[in-house]
Structure 1
Amino acid sequence: MDAFPIQELALPIALSGHDIIGQARTGTGKTLAFGAALLQRIEHGGKRPQALVVAPTRELALQVTEDLVVAGGKLGTRVLPVYGGRAYEPQISALRDGVDVVVGTPGRLLDLVKQKHLDLSQVCILVLDEADRMLDLGFLPDIERIVEQIPAKRQTMLFSATMPGEIVSLSRRYLTRPTNVRAESHTESEATPQVVQHVWQAHQMDKPEMVARLLQADGRGLTMVFCQTKRTCDRVAADLASRGFAAAAVHGDLGQGQRERALRAFRNGKIDVLVATDVAARGLDVDDVTHVVNYECPDSADTYIHRIGRTGRAGKEGVSVTLVDWSDLTRWKLINSTLGMDCAVPEETYSTSEHFYSVLGIPAGTTGKLPKAQRGERAGLDAEELEDIGETGKTRSQPTRGHDREHDREHDRDSEPERPRQRRKRSRSRTRNGRPVEAGATEGQAEPATTAPVTKAPATKTAPAADEDRSGGAVATERKRSRSRRRTRGGQASAGGDAPAGSSLNT
């Protein structure tokens, strides 16, 4: 098996101990580009970690951990994933027993450092994976605090698919004479070349039908459907499930156990459609993903690249379909011009369009529901057990132990803003025989026949304390009446003063 370009270029430099800035397309083997060198250069068997890999999301941290465990199996490397959403105790216990490599997200790493459970004083290799994604999530200040805990004499490797100005500035501060490695040809397009890309203008009401028919195309394997918000994500997943497809949702508002369960079911083939927000767009490496569907237009060219990069990985071919609303045409034109594509004005397409069937290889006569004969071929999400991992934060309404920052920021990135509900306070007034009871009235006191009209007393007029005592709280009663309803008789407002019982109002 041949090595990928990024591995051929970066491995010799990394093994020599030099700092590296690595840039390559997603899905081209960046993990092993730093992982193989990292495993060779650290000392195994100590108590404190020798290497630290910082990842932006939990899913990426788990994936890097799995790759390092496989690569370092014969070396007996102890690799510990550290991220929010799981209980602290197992991670603290593993750190006490001793680990060689820690792979974690910024929020949980800082929490463990502050609690004196994680000692980074012997880390000699630091890796920042998907640095641009960490920048997007606002983790740059956390990364700076983490770097301050690591000895200045170290090897630092920074890997990213894109290199915005902030990442370049970060590399200048924390890397020593780094070697820049870019494993791609200048003649290649910014978009993933091995992915056949289709962009169509579609109506919002017709998108569910289009996706349902697309999922029945010839040769369609595992498919990822990307949405902008968690609400849309849940709605699309539920709609596809009702049409007979084995689908599940992944977004930042789910508990960590639920997210891992859905990803395991997807990798194991128990479900074949994963509906996700951009939380799952970066760094996930799932074999045999043949189709990627942008149910909603991405917000930037980088997001588009990373979404469609879930297919066409490791030299394989894939298909991407982007459905653009009429309201998103301006945004899509900007993405199109940035990537140098030829789809500035997408073709108007519906679920019944002939070219939609022919281009994607959808059989004639396909409807928006999976035939009953094809249902049940996949075990479904329920067949994948939900691990009891001691979750500490499923939603923002359930506070986590410590500061589960990566969960909060992922939630913010893929959630629609919600307006907080304001509960109106209702005060219930006391009544007796259908009439209101004054604040100072007691059981034996007679009640007035009418209620005084609502008026606002002048600010300069105050009742003496003696009068207040004799009236049994008259001042307090007057203030309370100012908030009460205006009394009417016979559908008409009462006069300025109280009328005696039995009298009539002059109109």
Structure 2
Amino acid sequence: MTEIVDPVALEHSDSAPLDEEAVSHPLSGDAPVAPEAPTFADLQVDPRIVQALTEAGIERTFAIQALTLPIALTGSDLIGQARTGMGKTLGFGVPLLHRLSWDAAALDENGKLAAGRAPRALVMVPTRELCVQVTRDLQGAAKYLGLSVTAVYGGRAYEPQIAALHAGADVVIGTPGRLLDLANGGHLQLGGIKVLVLDEADEMLDLGFLPDIEKVLSMVPDKKQTMLFSATMPGPILTLARSFMSQPTHIRAEVASEGQTHLTTTQFVYRAHALDKIEMLARLLQARGRGLTMVFTRTKRTAQKVSDELVERGFAAAAVHGDLGQGAREQALRAFRAGKVDVLVATDVAARGIDVEDVTHVVNYQCPEEDKTYVHRIGRTGRAGKTGVAVSFIDWDDIPRWKLINDSLGLGFPDPVETYSNSPHFFAELDIPEGITGRLPKSQRTREGLGAEVVEDLGETGGRRRKAATGPARAGGTGSRTGGRGEVRRTPETPAASDTVADQTGDAPATPRRKRSRRRTRGGDAGATTAAPAPAAE
């Protein structure tokens, strides 16, 4: 029997772990999962949603979905907690769409959805990539409902998003900053919201979105259904729940408990030298049975450097990080999902929300900052009951940080083995064929590479218009980089460069230079020059 816990009645702490005995249930990660999970049809979901999910190959529910749907379909507030990759999106998406499909408030006199209708459901997510993923999942589930699902997020032009909102949107999915901008501009009407969802609330807290969230929450009606989903429940999140949720039910399913992360993922930890990491990675990528692989770094610069180095070594790699424009980021993700590249190098923030099936390996190229980041990283593999491999390269300088992560999660790797690219145990443990070098043989370079994926013109926003490099993109590389530092901003008042000499910032034209005359001096240096005398004052 599943016990119901009201989180606002619990004392919270920074880590906010819930009492294990109070929240354990037959479908949690602490107990064997039932052999036959219920189907969406068994839970009385709208048949049109069931049909769309069945066509997508989704029939039976995951634990978090089986537990949340019976409560969410009744319109009650709830908090859903489950680890990454366990189906939280459909856990709130299916009941949200089910409720809207039977809501007659948005219908005109002919029984059809009215044009220009205000949104009735709002989903807030922390990152652009997660916004795209959730929108894609909900659009697929709403295939036969006729509902409009619209995404709004930064890095893209405002005009298409404003036009979509004015045409009428039933569900709006967006990042806090862009949602607030559109609401303040009068383009996003939040007075008709009946269902509000906060997805990955812990990540929004980490990214500093809490003030924006509170401002958006002040614009929605008090009477509504609210669902909050997250992998962890820090204290500030529970405090936020007190302020805008009404007697929520806290459901916790398949959460990694202390001393245990992902049972379906085999983990390896090596103490590696910084100068040897790229060679180790290149050899690891040639292991037997390796499929799609995600490589995580702490910095944007390292992500780009590793991606470029792998491309030079013959691998089909792409990077996703904050220094890339939104078009380049989405190009890399599309290429990764389509299999045109099989190695995606990403920073932690950019990687949140990347949901790609059949990721077999995750590599921590740089040690994560904390235990929660480690869990999120390796959660990209071993999803939905499949197995995966997680490999961590730990620098000598990062050993103290790693020991804290290891002790917190009880991983059993307090002192990683010193390992190099030619270490026998490295080859044996990861099933790397003998004789492999750090370059992919030409006979195995069968993927199309990033250059085969077209970059969309998203009308990207920013402080200045970015021009793409005119040179051809490298084969399989990241293509042209935008926003180089050498660009000169132009204003309508700035003449062409051929007429005047602009200063380094390009904000204003400089005074035209005088032409200098050159003459030889008698008996002096043949190369000496003197400036022409200044014209006499009139």
Q: Give the TM-score normalised by structure 2.
A: 0.74
Match of 1:49 among 102, 108, 119: 119
2:90 alignment partner in structure 1: 32
Whether the 8 Å CA contact 1:270–1:380 is kept in 2: the answer is yes
Q: Can you list the C-alpha shifts for 1:78-121, whole angstroms capped at 9, x where unaligned?
A: 10000011111111111111011000001111111111111010
SS at match of 2:282: helix
Verify the 8 A CA contact 1:281 1:306 in the aligned structure 2: no
| Structure 1 stretches lacking a partner, 5+ long | 400-417, 445-507
Q: Deviations over 1:17-53 (max 9, x none)?
A: 1111111010000000000000011236241110000
Q: State the partner residue of 1:143.
A: 213
Which residue of the partner structure matches residue 184 of structure 1?
254
- What pairs with 1:291-440 in structure 2 (closer than 5 Å)? 291-375=361-445, 377-393=446-462
The answer for the alignment partner of 2:346 in structure 1 is: 276
1:213 maps to what in 2?
Answer: 283
Q: How many percent identity over aligned positions? A: 61
Residue 304 of structure 1 aligns to a residue whose secondary structure is helix
Q: Equivalent residue for 1:64?
A: 134
Following the alignment from structure 2 to structure 1, what is the Cα–Cα distance between the partners of residues 449 and 254? 39
CA apart distance, 1:159: 0.5
- Residues 360 and 436 (structure 1 numbering): CA distance in 2 closer, same or farther, change over 3 Å? same
**Residue 85 (structure 2) pairs with residue 23 (structure 1):** no
Which protein is bigger by CA-based radius of gyration? 1
CA distance in structure 2 between the partners assigned to 1:187 and 1:115 by the alignment: 44
Report the more deviating stretch, 384-393 or 173-182. Answer: 384-393
Contact in 2 for aligned 1:26/1:283 (Cα 8 Å): no
1:105 paired residue among 150, 175, 182: 175
Deviation at 1:2, TM superposition (A): 2.9
Residues 151-184 of structure 1: per-residue CA shift (max 9 Å, x gap): 0001110000011111111111111111000003
Assess if the C-alpha contact under 8 Å between 2:266 and 2:388 holds in 1.
Answer: yes
Q: Distance in 2 between matches of 1:222 and 1:282?
A: 17
Judged with a 3 Å threshold, the aligned counterparts in structure 2 of structure 1 residues 131 and 362 are, in CA distance, closer, same or farther, namely same
2:197 is equivalent to residue 161 of structure 1? no
In structure 2, what is the equivalent of residue 411 of structure 1? none
- Does residue 125 of the first structure (1) align with residue 195 of the second (2)? yes
Q: Any idea what SS the aligned residue of 1:314 has?
A: coil
How big is the shift at 1:389?
1.6
Structure 1 counterpart of 2:95, one-letter code: A
The question of whether the paired residues in 2 share the 8 Å contact of 1:83 and 1:108 is answered with yes
* Contact map agreement 2:320 2:351 (CA 8 A) in 1: no
Q: Which runs of 5+ in 2 are unaligned?
A: 1-58, 107-112, 467-484, 486-503, 506-512, 522-527
Q: 2:178 and 2:346 mapped to 1: Cα distance?
A: 23
**Which one-letter code corresponds to 2:460 in the other structure?**
E
Tell me how far 1:435 sits from its aligned partner: 13
Q: Is the 8 A contact 1:251 1:276 kept in 2?
A: yes
Looking at structure 2, the residues matched to 190 and 20 of structure 1 have their Cα atoms a distance apart, in angstroms, of 26
Q: Counterparts of 1:397 and 1:320 in 2: how far apart (Å)?
A: 40
Question: Within 5 A, what are the aligned runs for 1:401-480?
Answer: 443=536
Instruction: State how far apart, in whole Å, the 1-side matches of 2:294 and 2:255 are.
Output: 28
Question: In structure 2, what is the Cα distance between the partners aligned to 1:208 and 1:435?
Answer: 53
> Cα 1:207–1:154, aligned 2, differ >3 Å: closer, same or farther?
same
The superposition leaves residues 297-347 of structure 1 with CA deviations (integer Å, 9 ceiling, x where unpaired) of: 000111111111111111111101000000000100011111111111111
1:283 CA displacement: 2.6
Post-superposition shift, 1:280? 3.0
Residues 1:73 and 2:131 are matched in the alignment: no
Contact 2:81 2:253 in 1 (8 A): yes
Secondary structure of the structure 2 residue equivalent to 1:344: coil
Q: Secondary structure at the match of 1:237?
A: helix
| Equivalent of residue 269 in structure 2, options 199, 205, 215 | 199
Contact 1:201–1:348 (Cα < 8 Å) also in 2: yes
Contact 2:135–2:149, Cα closer than 8 Å, also in 1 = yes
What is the letter of the counterpart of residue 140 of structure 1?
A: L
In 2 relative to 1, CA 119–348 (structure 1 residues): closer, same or farther, beyond 3 Å?
same
CA apart distance, 1:365? 0.4
Assess, with a 3 A threshold, how the Cα gap between structure 1 residues 157 and 259 changes in structure 2: closer, same or farther. Answer: same
Show CA shifts across 1:377-421 (max 9, x none): 11111110111121113xx6669xxxxxxxxxxxxxxxxxx9xxx
Cα RMSD (Å): 2.6
Please give the alpha-carbon distance, in whole angstroms, between the structure 1 residues aligned to 2:465 and 2:414.
44
Is 1:236 the counterpart of 2:306? The answer is yes
Contact 2:231 2:255 in 1 (8 A): no
CA contact (8 A) 1:281 1:310 kept: no
SS at match of 1:107: helix
SS of alignment partner, residue 79 of structure 2: strand
